[in-house]
Amino acid sequence: MFQIYISGIFKGNIGRKAAAISWSFTISLFPFILFLLSVLPYMPHYAKLQFYIFDVLMHNVFPSNMEGDIRGYIEANIVPNMKGISNLTIVLALLFATNGTFSLINGFNENSDEKLSDVKEFILSFFITIGFITIVFLALFGVYYAEVVMKPFTPAYDISWLVNNLSKIIGFVSFPLFYFILLTLFYWLGTVKITRFRQAIPGAILTTVLFVVTTYIFAIYVKDIARYNVLYGSIGSMILLMVWVNVNVYLLLFGNELNMAIRKLRIEKLLSDEIQKEAVQYRTPVSEPDFESNEDHKRKLEDRKKN
């Protein structure tokens, strides 16, 4: 299986696909954030949800050295201008945000014989994007109501630190699970050859583990090695964002290739078992003749002895 997996990575031109998908994802990232913040005022607990987006969601998605710059840009340029945004702009932001999902699904199925038309892929990408936004809000509501349930309790010991950092703790624990479920749904719905939910699980596990490890390593790289802000000034954060998106697209493609390798191995095993069954059915059994039980042979031996 490892050989099939490595072969799929090199033969699938993952580098070229990752570069193309990363560009689309970077372009669609800020329209997605714009749409997310545009929907917030229509939600209950608006102020608290906005706090969770900046302090829980972004804290878990972006490395710590990038989080401050991206958050500062959004708070300084997007949030103050939200009231002047028209409904048409919000709809267009959703369509542009869908473009990133569309490019990723197209990359999943690029080397597949079974493909959807571009229109069907875009419609599927649109609903996946809507589903992703819904899951994000459900996760944020889950963090909020977990805090609401926990705060009335009066413990016997002083756990003020736990209460003050409860939202971050819940986000740290629940985000990998949320990310895993989202990836599993994404692989299952976005890849044509993945027809069952459980077939998408191995790739989702691999990508989730790699994401957690890579986030930690990338934060160290940005802090101690890269120094992009020193080299490039104000555009350093944008370059880091593009690099981070590209790394995550690689992880998504690695997970998809693992699912494809397991599927190919399973199909080869099924074909091998089928061929063996057919060979057993058509094979003619050959056995040695039993001369002792053959009456004609006994009679001939007796005649020879008499002569």
Q: Which amino acid type is present at position 237?
A: S
Q: Which two tokens stand for residue 214?
A: 């890579």
- In which band, very low, low, confident or very high, does the pLDDT at 228 lie, cut at 50, 70 and 90? low
Whose structure tokens read 């002569």?
307
State yes or no: pLDDT of 196 exceeds 70. Answer: yes
CA 3 to chain centroid, in Å, comes to 22
pLDDT band at 207 (very low <50, low <70, confident <90, very high): very high
Question: Which of 29-43, 158-172, 198-212, 286-300 has the highest mean predicted lDDT (pLDDT)?
Answer: 198-212
What is d(CA 299, CA 250) in angstroms, rounded to the nearest whole number? Answer: 81
Rg (CA), the chain: 30
Do the Cβ atoms of 46 and 266 come closer than 8 Å? no
HEC assignment per residue over the chain: CHHHHHHHHHHCCHHHHHHHHHHHHHHHHHHHHHHHHHHHHHCCCHHHHHHHHHHHHHHHHCCHHHHHHHHHHHHHHHHHHHHHCCHHHHHHHHHHHHHHHHHHHHHHCCCCCCCCCHHHHHHHHHHHHHHHHHHHHHHHHHHHHHHHHHCCCCCCCCCHHHHHCHHHHHHHHHHHHHHHHHHHHHHHHHCCCCCCHHHHHHHHHHHHHHHHHHHHHHHHHHHHHHCHHHHHHHHHHHHHHHHHHHHHHHHHHHHHHHHHHHHHHHHHHHHHHHHHHHHHHHCCCCCCCCCCCCHHHHHHHHHHHHC
Task: Give the C-alpha distances (Å, rounded to integers) separating 259 from 123, 179, 195.
Answer: 24, 17, 11
The percent of residues in the chain predicted with pLDDT above 70, rounded, is 73
Long-range residue pairs from 44-48, CB within 8 A, at least 24 positions apart, any chain: 45/141, 45/144, 48/144
Tokens of 294: 């053959």
Residue 189 — φ and ψ, nearest 5°? -85, -30
Residue that wins the pLDDT comparison between 215 and 306: 215
Q: What is the pLDDT of residue 57?
A: 72
Find where tokens 């340029």 sit: 77
108-127 burial string, b = 16+ CB within 10 Å, else e? bbeeeeeebeeeebbebbbe
Q: Which of 68-77, 187-196, 263-272 has the lowest mean pLDDT?
A: 68-77
Of the listed ranges 57-71, 113-127, 155-169, the least confidently predicted one is 155-169
Structure tokens at 171: 């986000």
Q: Which residues contact residue 176 at a Cβ distance below 8 angstroms, ignoring those fewer than 6 apart?
A: 208, 212
Per-residue pLDDT of 146-159, as tens digits, reads: 666 655 655 555 55
Global confidence as pTM: 0.74
Instruction: Tell me the C-alpha distance between 200 and 259, whole Å.
Output: 6
Whether the pLDDT of residue 294 is over 70: the answer is no
Sign of CA dihedral 111, 117, 120, 123: positive
